[in-house]
Structure 1
Amino acid sequence: MSKNWIFRTRRDGSPVPDSFHDAAERCGISPRLAEILWLRGLERPEELAEYLSPGLRHLARPSLWPGMAKAASVLAEGLLAGKKLAIWGDYDADGVTSTALALQVLHHHGYDALWHLPDRREEGYGMNVKGVEKLAEAGASMLLTVDCGISDAATIARARELGMDVVVTDHHLPPETLPDATVLCNPRLADCPCASLAGVGVTFFLMAELNARLAEAGSPRMDMRRTLDLVALGTLADLVELEGQNRILVKNGLLVLAEAKRPGISELKAVSGFAPLASLGAGQVIFSLAPRINAAGRVASAETALELLCAKDCDSAADLARTLDGYNTQRRQEEERITEEAMAQAEASLHDPALVIAGRDWNQGVIGIVASRLVEKYHKPTLVLCADGGTLKGSGRSISGFDLHAGLARCAEELLSYGGHRMAAGVRVLPEKLEAFRSRFVSVVRESLGDEPVPAVQMIDGNLDFKAATNFIFLKELEMMQPFGVGNPEPVFQSPPLLVKRRKIFGPQKNHVLLELADESCGITLQAKAWRQAEQFPADLEGRRVLLAYSPGIDMYNGAASVDVRIRDWKLA
């Protein structure tokens, strides 16, 4: 299905004012880049300056975050009084990096904390009473949750019964009834500088404040910049919006990640195919580093990933990184198998406005990825389910026009449980209720979206011919907009009509395509690539003219700079 190309505009339709152009000139950027940023919502000179130079001086004080100051006090007082602290994290990259960050700060100040990352297969998501009781038996009298806890009222109540002080740090949507913790730190609980912090972002601000409190008590202050590689990795892996505080954390974290002073990061980059000191973009972290951290929790134990990030030397880190790389290969194989089987089911339901796909032997660690792949291909709200004990557990992904959580709420009578938000959610249903749920969910989506397929949307940042796309000064300006991701997508431009001089399919699975394209308006020919989209480019394209939606960039291969053209979408001219 072709996408609808929509050019970015401001809601009021206003052009770039002279004052913004003046501010852009003072920042040393071109009118073209100024217009791109204006259309994306920047308007005040100070906003522009912070966006282009997101230095650490722009980070908000910890006291501005809900519960942060009190939580740091509880932890500092407890540690100084000799209480034993336990950390409960999540098994994904956000939770693992959060746990590693907290342990790093505590170790710097001389404290050895207990920790627990649940086993996805045996314990499932979140906290559980049995695990908390084991931590209490091991001597823990304080419990810190990272990237989880806001929905675990019963488990936290048990921890309090056992005499624990409980500090919850989380970033997920709070339920109506909050747990009775000693302190709750969640940016969604009150107005704060950035409601979309990842779990590792919340952990960073708490540990920064704890670091200051312990330093006041006489311990050497730690340089928190040393933890920003973990913050960047966890934040990018969790796909939160890269705006405001998140942009500052990730932009600076990528610089620390490039230094690779942490043995685990150095070896993780190596097994991912990068030089240890290579500078990585957000996409390279999201698609290469983060999957290897996540793979541990998906197919084995997240503890291996935590051990890698906490490794003290490169020898032990190298062994752990190779193990994670093996897990990731296993995860990819599982993902490909399940995706193929799920797409076969989807092809039988093409007339439905939503997909509910199930397989009993599918790995629950990859069904969320498979749901995303199906949404990418069919552009429909999608739920993928697998067997989990005597029930079916599902992971869902949505499209921009449908609120998945609200839709599941209308199917609640068919479900054992559900949770999530507008674009992603999880469900649990009895096998005998699956068909009733599928029918009800498809009806709810049809009521909302109608019977006609909803085309995907491709936002366009402006027109750009190949003469402008080969201007390295402009391409360097576009790099100032990094890191790209949710909330700050990479700019996409529409080309003039281009003559297709050559079409080549490449890759081990022959699923990538390279086009040699001539812009006859300026006499420049460039090569453009589309990844995993070969089937969308017919063999008879050669000799025809097309319009591209594309992103230009600088490719540094073997030290030589060239123009990299990535195809987002295309149409016949």
Structure 2
Amino acid sequence: MLYSQYRWSTPDIEPEAAAGLSQALSVSPLVARLLVGRGVLTEAEAERFLHPDLSQMHDPYLLHGMDKAVPRIQQALERGEHILIYGDYDADGVSSTSLMIHLMRHLGASYDIYIPHRSNEGYGLHNHALDWAHQQGVTLIITVDTGISAVEQIAYASSLGMEVIVTDHHEPPEVLPEAYALINPKLPQCSYPFKGLAGAGVALKLAQALIGEVPREWMEIASIGTVADLMPLEGENRVIVSYGVESMRDTRLPGVSALLEISGVTQEQVTSVNIAFAMAPRINASGRLDHAGRAVSLLTTDNLDEAHMLAGQLDLLNRERQQVVESIVQEAVAMLEHKIQSQGSVPHVILLAGEGWNVGVVGIVASKLLERYYRPTLILGIDPETGMCKGSARSIDGLDIYEALTACKHTLDHYGGHPAAAGMTLHRDQLVELERGLNDYAAGVLKEEDFIPRRLADDNCLISDVPLKVIQEIDRLQPFGMSNPSPRFVLNKVTIKETRTMGREKRHLKLVLEQEGWQLEAVAFGKGALADFLLPGTVIDAMGELSINEWNGTRKPQFMLHDLAVSEAQVFDLRGSADPLNGMKQFMRTFEVHLRYTSGSIGVIVRQETNVSIGNSLYEPCLWVYDRKVGLLPRNAAAQHYGQEQVRTLFVFDTPETPEQLDAMLKLFSGAENIILLHGSGHNRRDRLQMPSRELFKRMYVLVSKWGAEPVGEQEITPVLSRQCSCSVRMITMMLDVFEELGFIHRRDGNIEFVANPPKRDLATSRNYRAIESMAETEQVMLDAPTSQLTQWMITRMKGVS
């Protein structure tokens, strides 16, 4: 049995609404259900959703403050005032700044830009930057993607004689800055119909207010900021990104063209997903490891050669960023594993800090550790000279990290964020107290089920529901992103027909799934290690996304597998392992997320007492040994403490010596969901049993009868009989047991005497004869049978003794 990595859930979909949309729009029932599941209930709503149009854009003057900002900017243009565009270093800030540069150029304005350095300055307006602007003769500052909380800084700018227009989209604080104009759809006094604009979206609305219809390439820039900042792709954002992506497919911006090329994206087929996973990371890398100005230059250059040079630099920075992240991840994991060993468990909240850790990537590191351990995670970089720590937090569904930090605010110099992510600054002397406080807070909030991540699927479906035509229809729901993710589906009770690996290093998994005569290819990236364990015939539940695989001019449906589950007990055949302990460790790593280990859930069976420890693990295995009298006995403290009831994953290092031991094992561990056979060759082949036959017993009877009435030493004669009968000594000894039971021989003082006229008895009446048959079958199957026969045989016996 394999548990799914995630807790799957699907929405309740009103069938009548879906049926009505399917008929009205002439789309498949599946696509109609997807629309209803996303809140699109009427034909009119569906038309707007499926056909985003500029007519759906709102009047920019509905934004509070726009009526003041536009005349002030026009006045600055007329007077030739010097304007400062003050932006931010993330992809939304870069996009917002770039869009405003295009606007300033279009208007013929005198302008400068300023973006703070992430590591040296940090987020927001800074007084030293305002001093610089004043020295440059700036009289009007326009902020983009920042400024709504800059109360003191804007007051300082005013004291220098500079007026500030704030364009932002972040949550406004209780006390607002006294700027010349505040433009933010989230302001309490703002009645703008759509609240989900990115910083780049707000900048775009300012451009529309100033010049009316904007050039189509500006929509490209706004779409980058919208997707990269994880804004909901609904309402006005859906229009912006739809038009932006369409424009990118024939872009006139050299920077966008070069960025797509260096990212390996086919320009004619670019999607919002490419923006999120190819373009945005490279733009963000500029601000994380260098200065965001390089990315702004890329999005604003008119020179294709310069664009290629800048795109190449961003690509190198992104590769460097990946290496820096991986290095910190490795250090952080080692630090955490040491902490786990000393504490005996994974903490409710992970907090790790290191000197020299690049604060520009700590948020990415936190995300990676959260994904691996599924715990709220804080990663901080420590300045070795000052002892100050800057960090980022990422949280799970069950814990509002902002609230948790608020409960520990006495340890923090600064913090801010929202339920899923936050940033903080504190001195290293406060780290221990912060960690203790966060874990105490989490212990009172989190429940056991909160540590299993959720994954929402859009619908359950059959393979027959998703032919090529339906997958093409699903594509009409693009652009995909926040609030409109690429649809995920659950396929229940599908059978694996074929299993193989893909890629040069066999890192990826490919399956052929079958259901009611329909087949579908499935691909799972990074899950090649599962190939040896997902055998043909295995019935699974699968969750993933549908796509179209194009190869050599052929197009066919494909399932991008995200998660799977097997609901039946399983036997995994890893026989012949030269190092069972290492085999167990590898198996546990491979299936860690699918077995949901808990204390007492891992059992190991050996023939004699052995030191079986899996090292840096939370879950010490319960060790059991075979015993001829009682079947199995606990042999370490874990087994004695937890007993056999909690064992769900059972590793068999050695085969049972008798069928009775096998059945005792299966009965004792009847709750086991997975049995992993790691035994080697077992008995030496010269000591193996063979299926008994009447001819073999007849031949041996003839040999024994030649002794006459003289006693013969058993130890001396059994090797002779072994050679003459071509059987193991062990087999000969057990055959003699049968002869003794049937009265053919007597055993006294280590000697054997032949009975001249024994009673006639049928071999089949002998308990020992039947034992040889059963033991030989067990031995043959356990050691020699093909995997399919072995697993089925074991599962049948498991059911028989349960």
Out of 237, 241, 251, which is 1:246 matched to?
237
Corresponding residue number in structure 1 for 2:378: 383
CA contact (8 A) 1:368 1:384 kept: yes
Q: Give the match for residue 447 of structure 2.
A: 450
**Who is 1:514 aligned against?**
509
SS of the residue 1:547 aligns to = strand
Q: In the aligned structure 1, how far is the partner of 2:505 from the partner of 2:291?
A: 30
Return the alpha-carbon distance in structure 1 between the equivalents of residues 182 and 492 of structure 2: 54
Equivalent residues of 1:496, 1:519 under 8 A apart: no
Give the aligned partner of residue 313 of structure 2: 323
Matches within 5 A, 1:141-160: 141-160=139-158
Alignment correspondent of 2:193: 193
**2:275 maps to 1:281:** no
Aligned to 1:268: 259
Aligned to 2:655: none
2:19 is the counterpart of 1:26: no
> By how many angstroms is 1:168 displaced?
0.6
Mind listing any 5+ residue stretches in structure 2 that lack a counterpart?
A: 568-802
Residues 363-394 of structure 1: per-residue CA shift (max 9 Å, x gap): 11111111111222222211111124531111
Distance 1:533 1:446 in 2: 33
Preserved CA contact (<8 Å) 1:267 1:317: yes
Matches for 1:201-350 after TM superposition, within 5 Å: 201-212=201-212, 223-275=214-266, 277-347=267-337, 348-349=339-340, 350=345
Largest Rg, 1 or 2: 2
Match of 2:464 in 1: 467
SS for the counterpart of 1:493 is: strand
Q: Please give the alpha-carbon distance, in whole angstroms, between the structure 1 residues aligned to 2:474 and 2:318.
A: 32
Equivalent position to 1:6, from 5, 9, 16: 9
| Deviation readout 1:280-304 (Å, 9 max, x if unpaired) | 1222211111111111111111111
Aligned to 1:440: 437
Alpha-carbon shift at residue 566 of structure 1 (Å): 0.9
Q: 1:551 aligns with which of 533, 541, 545?
A: 545
- Compared CA separation, residues 408 and 101, structure 1 to 2 (3 A): same
Residue 359 of structure 1 pairs with residue 354 of structure 2: yes
Whichever residue aligns with residue 57 of structure 1, its letter is S
Distance 1:496 1:109 in 2: 59
Partner of 1:51: 49
Aligned residues of 1:171 and 1:197 also touching (Cα < 8 A):
yes
Deviation at 1:162, TM superposition (A): 1.2
> Does residue 417 in structure 1 map to residue 414 in structure 2?
yes
Contact 2:148 2:168 in 1 (8 A): yes
- In structure 2, give the amino acid aligned to 1:458: R
The SS at the match of 1:365 is coil
Q: Is the 1:85–1:143 Cα contact (8 Å) retained in structure 2?
A: yes
SS in 2 for 1:202: helix
* SS of the residue 1:168 aligns to: strand
Q: Distance in 2 between matches of 1:192 and 1:342?
A: 44
Whole-Å Cα distance in 2 between the matches of residues 481 and 322 of structure 1? 33
Q: TM-score by structure 2 length?
A: 0.66
> Per-residue deviation at 1:509?
7.0
TM superposition shift of 1:452: 5.7
Tell whether the 8 Å contact from 2:497 to 2:514 is kept in structure 1 after alignment: no
Contact in 2 for aligned 1:140/1:164 (Cα 8 Å):
yes
- Tell me which residue corresponds to 1:218: none
1:216 corresponds in structure 2 to: none
Decide whether aligned partners of structure 1 residues 464 and 199 sit closer, same or farther in structure 2, where only a CA change above 3 A counts. Answer: same
Tell me the CA shift for residue 451 of structure 1: 5.2
Q: What is the rounded CA distance, in whole Å, between the counterparts of 1:68 and 1:372 in structure 2?
A: 37
Deviates more, 1:450-459 or 1:407-416: 450-459
- Whole-Å separation in 2 of the counterparts to 1:557 and 1:15: 37
TM-aligned CA deviation for residue 258 of structure 1: 1.6
Identity %: 34
1:569 aligns with 2:558: no
> Which amino acid in the other structure matches residue 273 of structure 1?
G
Contact map agreement 1:353 1:451 (CA 8 A) in 2? no
**Structure 1 residue 477 and structure 2 residue 470: aligned?**
no
Contact 1:383 1:397 in 2 (8 A): yes
Deviation at 1:24, TM superposition (A): 4.5
The correspondence of residues 75-114 of structure 1 with structure 2, limited to 5 A, is 75-114=73-112
State the one-letter code of the partner of 2:140.
M
Separation in 2, partners of 1:68, 1:365: 34
Q: Matched residue of 1:177: which SS?
A: coil
In structure 2, what is the Cα distance between the partners aligned to 1:572 and 1:148? 49
- Aligned residues: CA RMSD: 2.0
Residue equivalent to 1:403: 400
Q: Does the aligned pair in 1 maintain the 2:165–2:180 contact within 8 Å? A: yes
Distance 1:283 1:3 in 2: 22
Aligned residues: 554
Q: Which amino acid is 1:335 matched to?
A: V
Give the C-alpha shift of residue 462 in structure 1: 2.0
Question: What secondary structure sits across from 1:286 in the alignment?
Answer: helix
**TM-score, normalised on structure 1?**
0.92
Q: Deviations over 1:483-537 (max 9, x none)?
A: 2222112211111323334444555776x422222314124241x22234456x3
Equivalent in the alignment of 1:215: none
Alignment of 1:115-154 (within 5 A): 115-154=113-152
* Partner of residue 488 from structure 1, selected from 484, 496, 516: 484
Deviation at 1:559, TM superposition (A): 5.5
1:164 Cα deviation (Å)?
1.1
State the shift of 1:15 in Å. 3.3
SS of match in other structure, 1:16: helix
CA distance in 1, matches of 2:210, 2:176: 24
